[in-house]
Structure 1
Amino acid sequence: MQQESLVEYGARRVIITITAIFCALLEIVDTTIVNVALNDMRGNMGATLSEIGWVITAYAIGNVIIVPMTSWLSQQFGRRNYFAASVIIFTISSFLCGNATTMWELVLFRFIQGLGGGALLVTSQTIITESYPPEKRGMAQAIYGLGVIIGPTLGPPLGGYIVDHASWPYIFYINIPIGVIATLLTLQFVRSPKYGEKKSASEIDWWGISFLAITVGSLQYVLERGQEDDWFNDGVILSLTVAAVLGLFFFIWRELTYKNPIVELRVLKNGNLRVGTILSFLLGFGLYGSTFVIPLYTQGVLGWTATQSGLLMIPAALTTAFMMPIIGKMLERGIPQQYLVAIGMVLFFIYSFWGFKIITPDTGEPDFFWMLIVRGLGMGMLFIPITALSLSSLKGQQIGQGAAFTGMMRQLGGSFGVALITTFVSRRNELHRTDLVSKLDINSPDVVNRVNRTAANFVSKGMDAKTGLQSAYKSLEYTITKQATVMSYMDVFLYLGVLFLVCVPFVLLVRNNKQQGKLDASAMH
């Protein structure tokens, strides 16, 4: 069998695994490390808040365009060559990002970095999966999962430390030595499967590539910029939404009718992969959504530094790392993946409900500890079983195609999660604020006494009576705004938890599809 010919043993397998994990880590850390440096970049380049957001958007668009094409590109150029080329593009563009002198130079280099980075994640997963024999695939996914789960958590504290102790270009420069070593190891140790003949330029699915770029590029832009640009009240957002919908329609039509499609949609006939693709979207939604909302809350409401917010997430990431090999062993012993996924979703619900109960305008750091440990346990239970379930009944070339689908859906799930949470917080904030203000009776003795006490406090510090009274009203306004924001974050935790809890029964029903998945896989090609 083709996939067995790629199985590695001994030191060679260890080196290939480490190389693939480092490449996956490079890509994932880079998606979050930039967040904490945006203020420094903005000041350094004289950019507006809206413009600096493009540093994240450009990378995400480049990333999500290339992910579905990775299987085809591996086939066209040979997996080892394509993987090495991606690492080189990523490393060179990291250097260029650090040396960018204008805002739009940086955005262009981030887009190119995203094109290089998109392949790293999916191809790493395929390389690791195919380097292990089928009975050890659970452990292989556990090892790969370490990088994917820890990466988003490492980004903020690492970025915070670099920005505090050096300058923002160094968040890009740290990629260079790792990239050079990864390139040399890839060229030396990674092998390419024999895919058959390459396609000539006339056979390449140029229309498919165009429709794919239009669809995912437009969708990613809409998700990243929608809230800031007031969604469908903005002409660009509306136009790109239409472009994404039409692009998707023509892309699906093209891929199902063309003899050499850029993305092999027919692999989705596999029942396990279909379920795994949906679950990967949910995983991305929860993983990136919760990684996004906690620093937002701790920095925005509690006034923590970026480094403090990042360090808060480390115990949870270590818990996930500790869980990974245990889950891998459980899968190897035949425990059904869907049971582990269901337990993971229940744990994620407990974490979210816990967050809903504990957050206040002055929640302390110790309050988060056990809640985030539960999140770490839940993420460990979700990631590996979902990946193993998705790829369990695929063979040979299909593994790469399946990994591309799950990778893209995890990325899009994260984008949807961040976009929806940002919009949700903003809308709930307005709602809670209006509600709180409507209950605030200016003639109430309690309100009058509070304002007078605060005003007297300001006067005692040297203000005149009029300025003291104005400052007291501003203080009351600030308290209302803060309380409304906290209530909005409480809602985010609650609804995120309910979403995962509702999915549990559907995950348990997957049990009947297991054999079906195997039949589908054997019937294909």
Structure 2
Amino acid sequence: MERPQGFAKFIIVLTTITAAVMELLDTTIVNVALNQISGALGATIEDIAWVITSYAIANVVIIPMTGFLGEYFGRKNYYLGSMILFGIASYFCGMSETLWELVFWRFIQGIGGGALLSTSQAILFDAFEPEDRPMASGFFGMGIILGPSLGPVLGGYLVDNFHWSDIFLVNIPICIIAVILTLVYIDRKEGEGANRKNMAIDYPGILLLMVTVGGLQFMLEKGESEDWFDSRLINICAFLFVGGLAAFIYRELHTKSPVVNIRIFQNQTFTMSSIFTLVGGFGLFTSVFVYPIMVQRINGLTPTETGLSLMVPTFLGVFLFPVIGRALSKGAKPLPFMVFGILIYIVFGFIGGESTSEMGRWDFFPMQMLRVIGVACLQMPLINQAVAGLKPNEYASGISLTNMIRQLGGAFGIAVANNYATTRAAQHRSDLLANVTAENPLFQQRFQGIAQSMAQKTGEIARAGEMAYKQIDMAVTKQAYYLAYLDTFRLVSIIFILIFPFVFLIKTPKKDKKDIEKILKASEEAH
């Protein structure tokens, strides 16, 4: 097939990377605005997490279907339709006046955005010769790290200088430009949508996938507040997850037109890579979720300062992804990169767990640099490893499932981090309050000092003691959450420690020159 050249190729790369960045950016752009959104809509910080997870659930549901839906509707039509849906949903997110209205439109936004990720990757691959596709993977990897990392930067600037709704409305002009560029520069593949009449939509499979993912996500989100399996609602969700997963697997293995080709999990390389992609997504999204909340609640950083503390490390990742992609394209083995990336993640978690409440935005640079290096060294090889052992006609399914698994890891990570931090905060608060007693001379000294200060400032001597107790209570709560966030960083390290030995089970299939030439030719025909 004829590849785009020169300016046309540059525009395709720019359009696809922008679409991928925009989709992933919206997974984290709300992180720095959670306090403002919860205040404006009258929601708790625990409930406001649904603004993030509803988007992630929609992503996880729609991403594995993109290969099928792109073939059914035609890839270009599906790509354009998804962009338009994403833009419309972004507008209504910005116009939302209640929490659950916002959650609903975030879910619709996630449906439109989920298609942009895998479809952008496929279109980007088409712009490169098969032997140059590791470089295409490098460019796509830039989007993977730019989106989640730049979200807090842009979100912080908009929240501080404008209104929280602008974090959604900013998507609209970008969508309009991307739609125009797609119409002009991205060509339809030969025979797009021609087999629609011969294709059957796997409606039961789609429904079972939604039930499975929705049941699991709701169980993770509401488990803590509902007392886990003492709750009938959580038990129902657990049943929906287990039963839905079993039925989904059976359905996809026995239907002629599965919406998700799960047979590729028979490939050991793909399966092991998927496990690390899941854990990598957990680490990437969890760290980006916890960090903004911690530094704003505890360290007093503004949303803009929070974003700036992430910006410079992010540009390091932009540089690293193409470099690692070029090294892999020249024959470098992926295992050393992955091992190094996991070790960096482990160190990052423990360094994050040693942060102090007096640290400013510049003090967080070293730990954020470590995070970016770990992401680049782990994610870049995984993008290539995920399809290394697959047949060319399985690449589309492999790409979609890999992106889904990464997003699923992120969705699980946010849910687990939210519940874990809440649980640990309650435990730390209980431990701290054990020292707040009348018999403790240090407490009495602190109490008397605060009471006297309040009496001097307000002139209300009678209420000075009551105000002092409130001040101490707020200080205890703040310290409890601070300790809980540090525990959450350490949790990321512990998970990577547990998964580390299995990295050596990932094998890169060896192919001679003739095998490579056949795969490249078949890959070109498949794309």
Same fold at TM > 0.5: yes
- 2:357 counterpart of 1:361: yes
Answer yes or no: is the 8 Å Cα contact 1:126–1:399 preserved in 2.
no
How far 1:266 sits from its partner (Å)? 1.3
How far 1:91 sits from its partner (Å)? 1.9
Answer yes or no: is the 8 Å Cα contact 1:64–1:408 preserved in 2.
yes
User: Partner letter of residue 150 of structure 1?
Assistant: L
How far apart in 2 are the matches of 1:222 and 1:249?
17
Answer yes or no: is the 8 Å Cα contact 1:272–1:390 preserved in 2.
yes
How far 1:344 sits from its partner (Å)? 0.8
User: Partner letter of residue 71 of structure 1?
Assistant: G
How far 1:168 sits from its partner (Å)? 3.6
Answer yes or no: is the 8 Å Cα contact 1:38–1:52 preserved in 2.
yes
Pairs within 5 Å for 1:45-194? 53-100=49-96, 105-188=101-184, 189-192=186-189
**Deviation string, structure 1 residues 138-167 (Cα, Å, up to 9, x no partner):** 221111111121111222231232233333
**Deviation string, structure 1 residues 284-309 (Cα, Å, up to 9, x no partner):** 10000000111111112222222222
Answer yes or no: is the 8 Å Cα contact 1:83–1:120 preserved in 2.
yes
How far apart in 2 are the matches of 1:198 and 1:419?
40
How far 1:72 sits from its partner (Å)? 0.8
Answer yes or no: is the 8 Å Cα contact 2:57–2:411 preserved in 1.
no
Q: Counterpart in 2 of 1:290?
A: 287
Q: Counterpart in 2 of 1:402?
A: 398
**SS of the residue 1:391 aligns to:** coil
How far 1:337 sits from its partner (Å)? 1.2
How far apart in 2 are the matches of 1:441 and 1:220?
41
| Mean Cα deviation higher: 344-353 or 133-142 | 133-142
Answer yes or no: is the 8 Å Cα contact 2:157–2:307 preserved in 1.
no
Identify the match of residue 250 of structure 2 among 240, 250, 253. 253
CA 1:315–1:481: 2 relative to 1, 3 Å: same
Identify the match of residue 236 of structure 1 among 221, 224, 233. 233
User: Partner letter of residue 179 of structure 1?
Assistant: C
Q: Counterpart in 2 of 1:209?
A: 206
Answer yes or no: is the 8 Å Cα contact 2:301–2:361 preserved in 1.
no
- 2:267 counterpart of 1:270: yes
Q: Counterpart in 1 of 2:333?
A: 336
How far apart in 1 are the matches of 2:469 and 2:349?
35
| Mean Cα deviation higher: 25-34 or 381-390 | 25-34
How far apart in 2 are the matches of 1:427 and 1:39?
20
Q: Counterpart in 1 of 2:317?
A: 320
Answer yes or no: is the 8 Å Cα contact 1:28–1:152 preserved in 2.
yes
How far apart in 2 are the matches of 1:472 and 1:104?
37
User: Partner letter of residue 242 of structure 2?
Assistant: V
Answer yes or no: is the 8 Å Cα contact 2:79–2:115 preserved in 1.
yes
Aligned residues between the structures: 517
| Mean Cα deviation higher: 35-44 or 7-16 | 35-44
How far apart in 2 are the matches of 1:278 and 1:122?
19
Q: Counterpart in 1 of 2:298?
A: 301
How far apart in 1 are the matches of 2:397 and 2:489?
34
Q: Counterpart in 2 of 1:380?
A: 376
Q: Counterpart in 1 of 2:387?
A: 391
How far apart in 1 are the matches of 2:244 and 2:341?
35
How far apart in 2 are the matches of 1:24 and 1:175?
12
Answer yes or no: is the 8 Å Cα contact 1:276–1:386 preserved in 2.
yes
Answer yes or no: is the 8 Å Cα contact 2:32–2:306 preserved in 1.
no
**Deviation string, structure 1 residues 45-79 (Cα, Å, up to 9, x no partner):** 66676775554343333222211111111121221
Q: Counterpart in 2 of 1:450?
A: 446
| Mean Cα deviation higher: 384-393 or 244-253 | 384-393
How far apart in 2 are the matches of 1:462 and 1:116?
54
How far apart in 2 are the matches of 1:352 and 1:42?
28
How far apart in 1 are the matches of 2:284 and 2:454?
45
Task: State the identity as a percent.
Answer: 39
Identify the match of residue 427 of structure 2 among 431, 439, 451. 431
How far 1:495 sits from its partner (Å)? 2.4
- 2:486 counterpart of 1:476: no
User: Partner letter of residue 140 of structure 2?
Assistant: Y
User: Partner letter of residue 272 of structure 1?
Assistant: T
User: Partner letter of residue 347 of structure 1?
Assistant: I
How far 1:241 sits from its partner (Å)? 2.5
How far 1:7 sits from its partner (Å)? 5.2
How far apart in 1 are the matches of 2:107 and 2:498?
37
Answer yes or no: is the 8 Å Cα contact 1:226–1:419 preserved in 2.
no
Answer yes or no: is the 8 Å Cα contact 2:32–2:152 preserved in 1.
yes
Q: Counterpart in 2 of 1:485?
A: 481
User: Partner letter of residue 450 of structure 2?
Assistant: T
- 2:312 counterpart of 1:345: no
CA 1:251–1:349: 2 relative to 1, 3 Å: same
How far apart in 2 are the matches of 1:78 and 1:27?
20
CA 1:380–1:416: 2 relative to 1, 3 Å: same
How far apart in 2 are the matches of 1:453 and 1:203?
74
How far apart in 2 are the matches of 1:452 and 1:106?
46
| Mean Cα deviation higher: 492-501 or 445-454 | 445-454
CA 1:193–1:28: 2 relative to 1, 3 Å: farther
- 2:502 counterpart of 1:514: no
**TM-score normalized by structure 1?**
0.89
User: Partner letter of residue 97 of structure 1?
Assistant: C
**TM-score normalized by structure 2?**
0.89
How far 1:486 sits from its partner (Å)? 2.4
**Deviation string, structure 1 residues 5-46 (Cα, Å, up to 9, x no partner):** 475544333222211111111211222223444555566666
CA 1:55–1:422: 2 relative to 1, 3 Å: closer
| Mean Cα deviation higher: 56-65 or 140-149 | 56-65
User: Partner letter of residue 486 of structure 1?
Assistant: Y
CA 1:243–1:7: 2 relative to 1, 3 Å: farther
CA 1:435–1:96: 2 relative to 1, 3 Å: closer
CA 1:423–1:42: 2 relative to 1, 3 Å: closer
User: Partner letter of residue 121 of structure 1?
Assistant: L
Answer yes or no: is the 8 Å Cα contact 2:33–2:303 preserved in 1.
no
How far apart in 2 are the matches of 1:184 and 1:305?
36
How far apart in 1 are the matches of 2:94 and 2:442?
56
Identify the match of residue 20 of structure 1 among 11, 16, 19. 16
